[in-house]
Every structure is written in C-alpha cells, then in structure tokens.
Structure 1
C-alpha cells in the first residue's frame, strides 16, 4: 500500500535568533486608517513630527492633511487661526489629557488659495497679517506599561535560513486629537465675530484671560477610591509637567531606515550566539501544555504520578 499522505507536512525549517532588547521598538497602530494606506512619503502623507513623553508614556504624531481634496478652506482658516491665537495665549501649553498634548507644530503658515478662492493670492484676516490654515492632523496615544501576564509581541524578519525575532517595547494605538476644537472654544466671542455676546459697558477681555486653567474634580465611587483618584490626579500633573521629546520622522523607504533595519532587526554575529537550552524535556512540556493524561488501566494515575509510575517500570 502507498504511504499515507501527511495532512500537515513541514514545508520549511528556520533557525530562530533572538535580538537584544537594549533599544525601544514601538508599534504604532492607526485604528481609523485603512490597510494599505500608510502614512508615508509614497502616499503623500509622511508624518512631519513625532513627540514622546517617555516617563508618562504619551505619544503624538503630526500627519499632513491634503488641503486640495475634500477640504473646507473656511473651516481650515478658522481652526488654524484659533490654534495660533490659543497657542500664543497659553504660551505653548497643550490640550488633551491634562494639557499633555501640545499644539506646537500643528499650526499652518501662509495660506495659498489654490482653486478655492476668488483671487488666487494669500489670505489676509482683516489686516491682521497672514492667516493660519490647519494643514496638520495630530494623532495621539499612550504607551501602556507592560504588566505580568501581558502577551509578549515580537517583530520577525527572515534572512536566508534564519528567523530573527526582536522584542516589541509597546504597542501604541493612535487616535485623532481634536485640539483645534478646544482652541476654538477658548477664543472670546468677539474674536469669533459674535455680536451681542458681551454686555454693554463690560470691559473687553484679552485672549490671555480667556485661556484659563480648568479645575478637575473627580468623586470616588467606592470605598478606597480616594487613593486611586489621588494617584490619577498625580499622573495627570506629571503628564502636564513633563516636556516633549521631539524626533525627526524618517520615511520607511529611505536608505537610513534600511540601515537601521539591518542593524537592529538582523543579528550581525550568527557564529558566536549562545544556544538556548530547554529547562524541561519533551514529556514534561506535554504535561504542562495539555490536559492531564490518564492511564486507562489505572485511572487514579494522572499527570505527575503517571510519569513516576512509568519511570519505575522502566528502571
């Protein structure tokens, strides 16, 4: 009879190499971004800035917005101008979680009306100088501190007959941040062109006075919640006090990125690697990974007792 065909054949085998974990490797997930539409130079949306607060784990990425397609220039001017004014009033302070998300770098610059205005020139806001167009969308998230029992993620790279694994420091989920709406809310009614919003005779307040701190009050819902609330407030303060570390974004297809890939994703010295040795044998591995094995002849013999009985019989 011909030999039975294996339903699960081994197609290929690889030697596994574990790279060091001396550097930080973060995986950024864009939850509202379709697969295949990366934020890179090839798709015209290479991020312009990466900001990081390593101690409190805040991450922020600025990505350019296409102002020529499906873009409301009027609203873009309103939001961009609001960010510009509010940033000046707050002296660079941020929005978001406890002011932890800075609006620095999210402004615009000179506005060029490309097919959207009657005159194709720069836009002037009532003689106050050049207007600011919102050209950048800010995505933000937080690095979750790993806890015991969390899954360990690895980045894999194949090279010839070797599989190189590199440990992931953290997976960060990034969401759009609505700093432009917060900035618009801070502009005084007169600054937005609203009429009748201020009582007659009331002194005009500056934008600086409008940009005021907000007191956050949290009530503990359960006993012992006061300590947790105090810890949360302390964390929020740390987020606000920590300064942003700013980093240049290198596109994935550049030579510099490939050099980093070669240095930190592929082990360079395969000849002098220490060999991983298992602390358990194959039988003990099966005992730990499977349900307890039962000897049909002696049902009381399960797991460790069954193994000991077999060892006695072999001796």
Structure 2
C-alpha cells in the first residue's frame, strides 16, 4: 500500500498575472470561423498546401463560403471527379450562382432551345448534354483540370451567428508579455463541408428528365391564359412565411469576394498587430467597478430562497396513529 500523501486543498498559488486591456471597436468586421469537421492538425495554410483559393460572403443573409484546393493527384477518383466537375460547370453555365441554403434552395432551370418563344440569348438545355468528351477528359486529366472540367475544390460553408445583444458576447484574446488584449467579435461562423457537386448533379438530372419528357410528348405551345389580379400582403409573419422570405432574399443577394492572406504572410502579421492590440496601453483609462466583491458574487450566484420562520408548536397539527381525531389542531 502506497504511503499517504498530504494534499493541501487550499494551496492554489497564483502562477501568473496579466493586465487586461479592451481594444476599441474595429471599423472592419471580425469573425471567427470554426471548421467543425476538419482535424485541428490540418490547418488551411499555404504550408499545409491547403490555402483557400477564394472566400465569399453574402453580408445581408450572413452566408460565408471558403474554397479549399483538393489534391487530385493522390487517392482521387478521376471518373467521379470529372462527372461532378462537369455537373458544376454545366449548371453554372445556365445561371446557377449558389447552392443549398446560401442559394435559398432555388434551382435555375434553362429554357429548351425548341420551346416557342425562347430567346436567342436564353441558356439552352441542349448544351448540358455534351458528354461525348467524358473519356477524353479522363485520358487527358491534367488538361481537363486546367480547363475546369474536374472537381478540384472542397467548399466549406456556414452562416454568421451575430451578436444580437441577448446572447453572450465573445471576445478574442491576444497576449503580449504580461498583457492580455481583448477584442470584441462581431460573430462566429461554424463552417461545414458543402456538397454543391451533389446539388448540381441532382439539378442536372432534373433538367435532363424534363428534356426527355418533352422530347417524347412534344413541346406544348405557349397559349395565352386569363388571369385575375389579386392583392397580396407584402410579407407574412408566420415562421414559414418568414423563412420563405429569408431564402428568397438570400437567393437574390450576390456574393462579395474577400481578400485572403495566409497566416504566415506579412499582411496577416500587420493586421494582427494593428487590429488586435491597444495602441497605447499606458494611456488606457482604467475600468471602475460599481460593485464590491460581495455584490459581485451575489449578482452571479443563483437566487437564494429566504428562510422560513420556524413554526410554533401550537401551530402544528398532530394526528394520532390510534384514531382519526386531530389533537391540538390550531384554529386559524
């Protein structure tokens, strides 16, 4: 049996002390992107050969997407990569700008070139059926990749969780010697893998099914239809109507591209030093608390129940085990 070791539970020494500073609000927005399903030992950096090739944002709806290159020369299914790459290329060719939630789950369906009334500049469905070069793309894989026929990008996407005032406020901290500088965040984004290539494949299948159906049944001529004008409310207030309005607005909002700087680049270090530290800590005003220690502990503690006054014996009701009579019942 091992000898007993004296443990002093009250021994909790202070190992370090830091002066805490709060930086002023930034003119630019500051977000933290959390990659939920990517291992922490695989950062999106140039040194790890995974520097993002593009970052885009929809400021109003809050959607963000990050494009990360895929290593297509190692453990890569070339036929499947060509198939998915072509699906994305073709759907984007007839006007699809976004997929999934960032696109409001909307699909752009091209007009058939044989449909009466189709304009010359309208995207035709016949253009998406050009798969004669599929084997050639696989044979000349490198050339096909350079020309945009191969899925060579992994997309991470998420929506900004903004500080609405009721939720906790998050801050990012940076250390410099014995100082801790805190900068308020404008929001957090949980980034997850997006499967736009599957959305594009399903969209392409829907277009081909429609084209096949109309080739068998024939294209119905466009006929004038009578309509009755009605007055509709500009917007509903139910959950379903609000969601529909939000997705419609998200689909119509255009992407804005952002400039990306690798974490080891000079631009990244300059932004780090300029934006996440207080310029003159010596001149910073000191925060003055309006509560003492006891008041602070009371404010963060759960509310305590007031103790009830002990009851007097004459107020108690005693019930005998031998009879149903009540003895000493208090009258009230």
TM-score normalised to the size of structure 2?
0.68
Post-superposition offset of 1:186: 2.4
Residues 22-41 of structure 1 aligned to structure 2 (within 5 Å): 22=26, 23-41=28-46
RMSD over aligned Cα, in angstroms?
3.6
| Length, aligned pairs only | 258
Q: Indicate the SS of the match to 1:259.
A: helix
Give me the whole-angstrom Cα distance separating, in 2, the residues matched to 1:234 and 1:200.
35
Give me the whole-angstrom Cα distance separating, in 2, the residues matched to 1:162 and 1:254.
24
- Who is 1:263 aligned against? 274
1:161 pairs with 2:172:
no
1:275 pairs with 2:292:
no
Give me the whole-angstrom Cα distance separating, in 1, the residues matched to 2:149 and 2:138.
15
Residues 59-74 of structure 1 aligned to structure 2 (within 5 Å): 59-74=64-79
Q: Indicate the SS of the match to 2:172.
A: strand
Query: Are residues 284 and 100 of structure 1, via their aligned partners in 2, closer, same or farther at CA, if it must alter by over 3 Å?
Result: same
* Contiguous gaps of at least 5 residues in structure 2: 1-7, 108-134, 220-235, 310-332
Residues 76-91 of structure 1 aligned to structure 2 (within 5 Å): 76-89=81-94, 91=95
Q: Indicate the SS of the match to 1:256.
A: helix
Structure index of larger Rg: 2
- Who is 1:122 aligned against? 143
TM-score normalised to the size of structure 1?
0.71
Match among 9, 14, 39 for residue 10 of structure 1: 14
Query: Are residues 131 and 51 of structure 1, via their aligned partners in 2, closer, same or farther at CA, if it must alter by over 3 Å?
Result: closer
* Contiguous gaps of at least 5 residues in structure 1: 104-112, 205-224, 301-315
Q: Does structure 1 retain, via aligned residues, the 8 Å contact 2:162–2:188?
A: no
Query: Are residues 48 and 120 of structure 1, via their aligned partners in 2, closer, same or farther at CA, if it must alter by over 3 Å?
Result: closer
Q: Indicate the SS of the match to 1:143.
A: strand
- Who is 1:150 aligned against? 167
Q: Does structure 2 retain, via aligned residues, the 8 Å contact 1:98–1:237?
A: no
Match among 204, 207, 223 for residue 187 of structure 1: 204
